Amino acid sequence: MLALGHPIGHWPAAIVIPLAFFLLVAIAKSKRHVAQTTLKLCKSCGTSHPNFARFCRNCGRNLDE
Ligand SMILES: [Zn+2]
């Protein structure tokens, strides 16, 4: 009788805290994913590279210039 129709605002901490932790981890992972997939374009030849790349793999130009 208690579980059915129980208001969302009265969930026990044993459920809310792990759920909140899971959401924070998911958000952190998605942010890191975006950072890793951001592309850098070579200013000389236009080749795309991962965000952490420092030099063009095609022509060797410094991508941070
Ligand atoms: Zn290049």
Look at residue 13 in the predicted model and tell me its pLDDT.
Answer: 86
53 CA from centroid of ligand 1 (Å): 12
40 phi/psi in degrees, rounded to 5: -105, 135
17-63 pLDDT, tens digit per residue, is: 999 999 999 988 887 665 556 789 999 999 999 989 999 999 999 99
3 phi/psi in degrees, rounded to 5: -70, -40
Look at residue 38 in the predicted model and tell me its pLDDT.
Answer: 75
Per the DSSP assignment, residues forming a β-bridge with 39 are: 50
Distance CA 28, CA 51 (A): 18
33 CA from centroid of ligand 1 (Å): 24
Per the DSSP assignment, residues forming a β-bridge with 48 are: 41
Q: What are the sequence ranges of the domains in the chain?
A: 28-65
Summarize the confidence of residues 1-30 as an average pLDDT: 80
Greater model confidence, 23 or 3: 23
The answer to whether 43 and 36 are in contact (CB under 8 A) is no
